[in-house]
Structure 1
């Protein structure tokens, strides 16, 4: 009788320990979603040519980066032709201040490693985009430099899920491009949101454009990539299309930093 009671208590303790471990793992996983700044993709723009080590272009590039402190977005220019360097750093709407400044340092280090000596290059991280170029690209909508990412898990009803996702992201686009004095610079061309799906499930999403392009081009850019949902992430429970001028992401779990 005594040994049976001890065994039952032992089993109960083990079960509680497993449950606690699962809960801790879940909490850690959700928390890490907001803290991640993973490398996503890069593109070396070979058409822009290469610079030589210790050249004036390299000095101008290093000076531009080292003298830049960014809050949420900066379009910078340094040097004189033919060694002028143009740069944009655009951080995600929830990643301003120190997080944005840190992302610039991380992105530049990665860019130098992945595209050594390239005058033109783009690198994307979860929290920011960094582009350098020997020519200006302001007011140019960039849909050529683009990539897809998606969740492998498929929704039960892919066609219905696609339609709801498109409607949801289109609504966010209208908000992101809405003009109004109440919208702060960090939130310009950026809109997060969520939408209730069947049962307790929710769809979380965000859309954003770089502040290099006009309001109308932001709408056009987002409408174009949202239209690519069937190609990029057909019926998937999470996905994103990311270009040089705009991007969207949706998931069935929260992935943005909601702390203000």
Structure 2
């Protein structure tokens, strides 16, 4: 016969085991997605000069940082604010990855701002890339304009194997499909707007066991036409970096970026539009 205390201990043990199992599932899920937020690269806009401590420029920057930090625009994954004019103009653009909005976007903004301040101390302009966001600070208002200069490519050192031509054909097909999604499907996280999400993600089978995962995105200040032009231009500009059959690569820029891997790296369920599979 079981005592009340032994039953209670048994129930507590079951509860603890259930919690442990849940945590393990969460850890496994996050690990399988490779949902990191690592620093990738940065560039200081040296030509824009530096601001002085206590200056009007610094006060404007601090006001914008506070507004973005506590504002609600991060819930959609994008924010842009400007203040001042002439040499004291401050323009800040934050673009989070399509599946990284809300608290993830806010957290990435904090990391990016701290990283940019550390790497470009008191510069009026600079840009920094993390896995889940890009942040640009500038004394020049270039919102809505295509920027091909501030871009770079990172690729895996390993190649896919014996048939890179077939791999590239499948890459092209997947790129076309998710690019079409990016420029046609509206952002379901934004109310009362028909503007496309300018983000697309998907996967394509490579035989029976492997898959290719790919993502494209443009900053939300671009038009649909400009987004399409930016993606195509960067594909061509950096083809020597990624088109030799690398197992993974990414091109990051101020205006647009794309990435592909042989492992999942975006959350298919939390994107702003449909997730493509083939």
TM-score class normalised by the smaller sequence: 0.7 to 0.9
Give the TM-score normalised by the residue count of structure 1.
Answer: 0.83
Distance apart, 1:63 and its partner CA: 1.3
Name 1:220's counterpart in structure 2. 229
| Aligned-partner Cα distance in 2 for 1:35–1:208 | 17
- Do residues 211 (structure 1) and 220 (structure 2) align? yes
Scaled by the length of structure 2, what TM-score is found? 0.78
Superposed counterparts of 1:10-21, under 5 Å: none
Separation in structure 1 between the aligned mates of residue 141 and residue 98 of structure 2, nearest angstrom: 24
In structure 1, the gaps of 5 or more residues are 1-23
Contact 1:196 1:202 in 2 (8 A): yes
Shift of 1:229: 5.3
Q: CA RMSD in A?
A: 2.1
Which residue among 172, 180, 201 is the counterpart of 1:174?
180
Alignment coverage as a number of residue pairs: 234
Q: Which runs of 4+ in 1 moved over 6 A?
A: none
User: How much has 1:50 moved relative to structure 2?
Assistant: 1.4
Aligned pair partner of 2:87 in 69, 82, 85: 82
The aligned runs of 1:30-179 (5 Å cut-off) are: 31=31, 33-68=33-68, 69=71, 70-71=74-75, 72-156=77-161, 157-178=163-184
- 1:228 and 1:199, CA in 2 relative to 1: closer, same or farther beyond 3 A? farther
Return the alpha-carbon distance in structure 2 between the equivalents of residues 99 and 240 of structure 1: 21
Report the 3-state secondary structure (helix = DSSP H, G, I; strand = E; otherwise coil) of the residue aligned with 1:95.
coil
CA gap of 1:102–1:220, structure 2 versus 1, over 3 A, is same
Quick one: distance in 2 between partners of 1:229 and 1:198? 27
Distance 1:29 1:236 in 2: 26
Please give the alpha-carbon distance, in whole angstroms, between the structure 1 residues aligned to 2:154 and 2:29. 20
**1:168-223 per-position Cα deviation (integer Å, ceiling 9, x unaligned):** 1122111100155x744497100110011122111111100001111101000011
What do the CA deviations read for 1:41-95 (whole angstroms, capped 9, x no partner)? 0011112121122221112111110121322101101234331210100000000
